[in-house]
Amino acid sequence: MDRSLLGPCSRRDALGRAALLGGVPALTPLLGALGAAPPPPAPRRWDGYDRALVVDMLASPGPFNTTLPATPLTPAMVRNARESGITAINLTTDSVDFAATLRRMATWEREINEAPDVFQRVRSVADLLEAKRTGRLGIIYGFQGINPVSGDLANVAPLAAFGVRIVQLTYNVRTLAGDGSLEAGNAGISSWGRDLIGELERQRVIVDFSHAGRATTTTGIAACTRPPAISHTGCAALANVPRNQEDAALRAMADKGGVAGIYLMPFLTPGRQPTTADVVAHIEHAVNVCGEDHVGIGSDLSITPHVVDEAYVKDHQAFVRRRQQLGIAAPGEDPAVYFFVPELNTPRRLERIADALLARRHPASRVERIIGGNFVRLMRDVWGR
């Protein structure tokens, strides 16, 4: 999904509006609006979560899929990051061009520096393991588009040097690399896109096909020589909307050694709020298509739970309508359907997913791969360390 659509604001302004993203799960207002009772606390079935390498391949400690700016972080957001049990996240840090992206990355450098006991820069697998050892949240810089490359392949190397470790080739619409998922033409990867894939792979950056059109996905994966990612998606076989991937693309990705992350978004169930059972259904379908070594989680959410009050509802409506006006809203984005799964509205949502999979009699070894192990293996294969 997209990031903030508003310009920068002061720390005081952000803290003043932080009620939109609270420090603890607040399910009662949302579920009351949905006509359901709050769920009981999830029983803990597995103590392996705290030992596992847990990776959310698209998330943020701060506001995400909202009009609010991504930083500064509030104390509640930092606390939620600490308590999530997540080892590392792919954090979106791109902006409109190369220079603006560096400025945006600098704001995250500041956040890491302000809470070094909570956050760990991740530029290698060794960094990720250190994050796990020290109980910090690893931050992997990633892009949901190629604006920072600015049409010049020479920019890839410095971006990689600044810590970028995963790059998505398109964001719904057409780029120099290929067509996004909303482009009616559905053209495949461009010649320049092939060159970009080659340069990203030379710089040991993961190539991500989230938000890509179906022809761009299949032709782009065919052009990859290293394992690719589809960091946050769903299964078109269960919900045939453009943001979800068809089985053929998922198989092609798996054949290259890649990993697809299932998101926690309404594209899983167009027209209604998804449930944990829906998330599990998409995970299980992906496992059946790809194999258990090629499926993970990319929630596309803030780690901080959503508090659905009047301000939140207005912000969500404004965010979706603005995206619709810009032509970047995908089918399934609805001002009346919120961007999260109510039962998983907690910083420890990946633990609840693990519990749900175990309740379905998936073996613990498979669950450990899905909640992070598969993406860690992908990082080793591409980053090389």
pLDDT at 19: 37
Token pair of 61, please? 């400690």
pLDDT block averages, 10 residues each, the chain of length 385:
39 36 41 42 73 98 91 97 98 97 97 98 98 98 97 98 98 95 94 98 98 97 98 98 97 98 95 96 98 98 94 92 86 86 96 97 97 98 93
Which of 130, 25, 45 lies closest to 352, judged by CA? 45
Write the CB contacts of 96 (distance below 8 Å, at least 6 apart in sequence).
Answer: 147
Q: How far apart are alpha carbons 271 and 123 in whole angstroms?
A: 38
The domains located in the chain, with CATH, are: 51-383 (3.20.20.140)
Q: How far apart are alpha carbons 203 and 212 in whole angstroms?
A: 21
Q: What pTM was estimated for this model as a whole?
A: 0.89
pLDDT at 327: 84
pLDDT at 42: 52
pLDDT at 330: 80
Backbone angles phi, psi at 167, to 5 degrees: -135, 125
Write the CB contacts of 318 (distance below 8 Å, at least 6 apart in sequence).
Answer: 67
Tell me the residue ranges of DSSP E strands in 268-307.
295-297, 301-302
pLDDT at 5: 35
pLDDT at 13: 36
Q: How far apart are alpha carbons 96 and 114 in whole angstroms?
A: 26
Contact 55, 371 (CB under 8 A): yes
pLDDT at 43: 54
With tokens 């961007």, the residue in question is 339
Write the CB contacts of 35 (distance below 8 Å, at least 6 apart in sequence).
Answer: none
pLDDT at 46: 81
- Preceding amide of 72 cis, omega within 30: yes
Q: How far apart are alpha carbons 166 and 207 in whole angstroms?
A: 6
